[in-house]
């Protein structure tokens, strides 16, 4: 699968991405730490959210990798209905299991953020990934609501922290630009895998050629289903879905909503061409009506 031949020509590389196998995620957050360290992302997540052991809550400008912790009163089952994994008893006596998943930007095949960016700050790289150029971003924020996954966000940190004496002069001007996962574009250009995948101790986050990752995911899903794992499914693997498939897709052990993911995402700019055509026709009709009225009045 070639990334962007129309744009890069002979420089286009095979499309790469992530396959995140949540069945082996241990919630260690090594991916979060590696991502922050390599990309020099400001600290966040120091406040207790009360959402299990999740201290970052969601993806944002300062959280490019987010490890979700989901506690369920639900055991893993074998195909015959026997309990395969029961990690304890809840207060109500029901079986308790943990679902953990490292979420990230999906680097969609049909990316609405690219469609709405007026400055060209967002672009698709020769590897097929989607990257923000912060030196071009004007902070308009159009891409934020365009993303069906809520990945993009504007950074609301001061550009610098002046001394108290200079504060009245310089104020605390906020950054205001959009930031998100780049799939470590700088590392890719150097022939290295992204920092999060490099740091993952269980290979829950797997990086590579997207077509090969899809084959690997199909094999992994088949093994889990043969073993009778209830709820195992691939999310974002299908190139025929509402966003043309993800560049970073997942193997989940329950429905996407359980992990805070939309069940059937659709590119938000799907109807944009039709809307522009309708607007153009309406504008043309208005002009024609105005001209006709003017000419009729002169007669």
* 249 lies in the same domain as 285: no
* 191 lies in the same domain as 296: no
* 253 lies in the same domain as 296: no
Lowest mean pLDDT among 3-7, 97-101, 154-158, 200-204: 3-7
Q: Is the pLDDT of residue 158 over 90?
A: no
* 127 lies in the same domain as 255: yes
pLDDT of residue 276: 46
* 191 lies in the same domain as 298: no
For residue range 48-105, what is the model confidence (pLDDT) as tens digits?
777 778 888 899 999 999 999 998 877 655 455 455 554 455 444 556 788 999 999 9
Q: Is the pLDDT of residue 231 over 80?
A: yes
* 145 lies in the same domain as 214: yes
Question: How far is the C-alpha of 171 from the C-alpha of 203, rounded, in Å?
Answer: 45
Strands 16-21 and 248-252: parallel
Question: How far is the C-alpha of 199 from the C-alpha of 161, rounded, in Å?
Answer: 32
* 100 lies in the same domain as 157: yes
* Mean pLDDT of the residues in the chain: 84
Mean pLDDT of 133-141: 93
Q: How confident is the model at residue 165 (pLDDT cuts 50, 70, 90)?
A: low
* 277 lies in the same domain as 173: no
pLDDT of residue 230: 79
* 219 lies in the same domain as 166: yes
Number of domains in the chain: 2
* 76 lies in the same domain as 153: yes
pLDDT of residue 46: 77
* 16 lies in the same domain as 30: yes
Q: What is the CATH number of the domain that holds 164?
A: 3.30.70.20
Q: Is the pLDDT of residue 43 over 70?
A: yes
* 278 lies in the same domain as 253: no
Give residue 156's domain range: 5-268
Q: How confident is the model at residue 161 (pLDDT cuts 50, 70, 90)?
A: low
């Amino acid at each position: 699968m070639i990334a962007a031949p129309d744009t890069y020509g002979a420089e286009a590389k095979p499309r790469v991405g992530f396959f995140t196998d949540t069945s082996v995620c241990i919630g260690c957050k090594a991916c979060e730490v590696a991502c922050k360290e390599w990309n020099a992302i400001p600290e966040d997540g120091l406040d207790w959210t009360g959402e299990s052991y999740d201290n970052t809550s969601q993806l944002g400008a300062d959280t490019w990798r987010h490890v979700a912790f989901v506690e369920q009163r639900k055991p893993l089952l074998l195909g015959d209905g026997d309990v395969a994994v029961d990690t304890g008893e809840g207060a109500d006596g029901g079986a308790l299991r943990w679902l953990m998943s490292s979420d990230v930007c999906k680097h969609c095949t049909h990316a609405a953020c690219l469609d709405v960016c007026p400055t060209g700050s967002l672009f698709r790289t020769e590897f097929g990934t989607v990257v923000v150029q912060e030196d071009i971003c004007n902070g308009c924020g159009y891409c934020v609501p365009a993303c069906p996954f809520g990945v993009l966000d504007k950074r609301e940190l001061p550009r610098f922290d002046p001394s108290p004496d200079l504060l009245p002069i310089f104020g605390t001007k906020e950054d205001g630009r959009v930031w998100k996962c780049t799939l470590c574009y700088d590392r890719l250009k150097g022939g290295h895998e992204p920092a999060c995948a490099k740091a993952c101790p269980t290979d829950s986050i797997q990086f590579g050629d997207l077509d090969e990752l899809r084959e690997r995911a199909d094999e992994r899903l088949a093994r889990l289903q043969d073993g009778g794992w209830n709820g195992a499914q691939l999310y974002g693997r299908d190139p025929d879905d509402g966003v043309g498939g993800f560049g970073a897709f997942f193997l989940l052990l329950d429905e996407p909503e359980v992990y805070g993911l939309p069940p059937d995402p659709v590119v938000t700019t799907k109807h944009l061409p039709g809307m522009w055509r309708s607007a153009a026709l309406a504008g043309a009709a208005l002009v024609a009506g105005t001209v006709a009225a003017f000419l009729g009045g002169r007669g």
